[in-house]
Chain A
Amino acid sequence: MEVNPSDRGELVRLTPFYFGPAEKQLFGVYYAPPPGQESEFGVLLCNPWGQEYVRAHRAQAQLALRLARQGLPVLRFDYFACGDSLGADEEGTLAQWQADVRAALQELKRRGRVEEVFVVGLRLGASLGTLVASGREDVAGLVLWEPVVNGPAYLAELRAWHEEKQFYFLSEGREEAAQAPGLSAAPGENVRGEQFPTELLGFKLHANLCAELQTLDLLNLKRKPARRMLVIESQAQPAVEQFRQQVERLGAQVDYALIESFKMWTEDPDKGLVPQPILQAAIHWLTQEAG
């Protein structure tokens, strides 16, 4: 598909495709920049997870298109067991998704004919991008949009949202409906005997993923994830500030943008909301860095 977004004749070509091993095929959309304007850097977008992913899709797609218009080859993709990629909900793990990010980096380098890539991650995608980038030489920089720094805090946040949402549709005064399995975030146990909800906001939260999330802590990072980083928040979080200080101690140069905005990953997708000031900040930073 060729997209001619402006009267300047900037053609961006979109190619949907599957990549990766046959049993774990990942869905991706590659955005080829207008011919003759290709940058030597690519951009990989890393999605949030679950309900946040569904609601953020429109903004992620627009970000990809706008970056490609600026000459940056872009790859958006779905992790295994998410979106259009193969796999059922219960097969997704943080370890697998980090492997998926690595596979996507390779795919982008191959398709875009680039040696270095910027990784842009939103929410859990920012955490995955950071973990993968740490120790790699081919990640030129990171844009972390509302990164999930602490797994347990993230789970608690999603669980509160899940429980709140349930009150709108649990059958009124029907005991049997309230007790139906899976309907009320019925607690189960993970491998360490800890309590966890079995589903969150329409998506399965299985024991392995829950256990991984409970140990996720970006403050434990031992190597800088990239030389240059941009952290974007709409509301300053102490954990993000601690993370910023941590990666600066590790030698990263971190820019920070506090941009007041709605959190579109929690908004009704039918509103079609896209936080343009944040997209603009990310695009500006990336195009400056890509020179």
Chain B
Amino acid sequence: MKEKAILFGKFKTLIGVVSEPEPGAPAGRAAVVLSNAGLIHRIGPNRVYVKLARQLAAQGHRVLRFDLSGVGDSQPRPDHLPVEEFTIDDVKQAMDYLAAAYGDEQFLLMGHCAGAYHSFRTAAVDGRVQGVVMMNPDGGETEWIEYDRKRKLTRYYSNYYSQKSLFSKETWQRIAGGQISYRNVLKNVAQNMIWNRLTGLFFKLKQQIKQRLAPPPPAATDEKLFTMEAILRRCQAMDGIRVLLIYSEGATSLERIQISMKSALKQLSAAGKLQVQVIRGADHIFSPLESQTDLIAVIKNWTAARS
């Protein structure tokens, strides 16, 4: 594995690492650019970008993982562009660097969470991009964020009681010693498990009805791409870009677009423009090692099919 640390960009403020294609790997594969997952530096959540970059390099891709301005080791830009503009410009500069240094002409952009949005928004304005891999692009209105919070709490307490508390010697000792707060247990079961589950079901039903009564607007070319709904509408209007959309099992952001963009998802998948994959047993940042392996395998299969 050969990797090179680079300082690049028009202000020489961007720091990244290039993973060179392995000797003997197929030539002519598109170069890959990985954008930060939120404020996590360029190694990605749980170092998964490093693992991904090295495995894609073994497949013949040149991969650049880098820090956007003001994130990780890259310093803020001196031109004070707004974040929605400089993130696109930074990713374009990453492609410019690879084009100038290695002659790369075609690119795949990849990113987790906020990095997924940066990647797609750049692809929408730069014709060099062939495909985008979006890993757990979260976001949404306040009510969906609240729904997500409740889902996590329900899951936490279900797992806590079913897998730890009931089988813990300490719990039974506390019960025997009269040290258990039954009020807290009742609150957790009644509110965080049962009530949250019921309100969650009601919320989803309400969203489905709302969707039927007010179907999504048609694609608009000047629409800001800050939501997955807008991105999927843009996908419908664009040709030439393929999208791999990856969600962790139980991601409420996937539930959301399955309601709000049901027909678009079907249409895009049927047209071969979009592939949606769910990684089982994963949290938002792919903590379990097995989920990291699955995530990388899904991406490698997708890139291989496009080479």
Contacts and interface: CB of A to CB of B under 8 A. Distances in A.
Interface of A: 1-3, 14-18, 25, 27, 29, 51, 54, 57-58, 61, 82-84, 86, 88-89, 163, 165-173, 177-178, 180-184, 198-199, 201-204, 269-272
B158 A201 contact: no
Interface string B41-84: 11101110011000000000000000000001101000000000
Interface residues of B, number: 51
B200 to A, nearest CB: 12
Contact of A14 (B3, B7, B157, B160): B7
Given A1-B13, A84-B3, 7 more contacts: A61-B41, A83-B47, A170-B159, A173-B158, A183-B288, A203-B46, A270-B39
A54 B289 contact: no
Contacts of A57: 40-41, 72
Contacts of A51: 46
Contacts of A270: 38-40
Contact of B47 (A54, A61, A163): A54
A172 B154 contact: yes
Interface string B233-261: 00000000000000011100000000000
Interface in B243-295: 248-250, 280-292
B187 interface: no
A168 B152 contact: yes
A86 B3 contact: yes
Contacts of A25: 3
Interface of B: 1, 3-7, 12-13, 15, 17, 38-43, 45-47, 50-51, 72-73, 75, 152, 154-160, 162-164, 248-250, 280-292
A167 B159 contact: yes
Contact of B75 (A14, A27, A173): A14
A97 B275 CA distance: 41
A270 B248 CA distance: 19
Contact of A3 (B3, B75, B158, B287): B75
Given A1-B75, A27-B17, A61-B72, A171 B249 contact: yes
Given A84-B50, A171-B249, A54 B15 contact: no
A7 to B, nearest CB: 13
A16 B15 contact: yes
B116 to A, nearest CB: 14
A83 B65 CA distance: 12
A163 B287 contact: no
Contact of B15 (A29, A88, A271): A29
A51 B288 CA distance: 12
A20 to B, nearest CB: 12
Contact of A204 (B1, B284, B289): B289
B155 to A, nearest CB: 6
Given A16-B5, A54-B45, A183-B288, A170 B281 contact: yes
B287 A177 contact: no
A67 to B, nearest CB: 15
Contacts of B156: 167-168
A17 B249 CA distance: 38
A168 B45 CA distance: 17
Most buried by A among B3, B6, B41, B284: B41
Contacts of B40: 54, 57, 269-270
Given A1-B13, A84-B42, A172 B6 contact: no
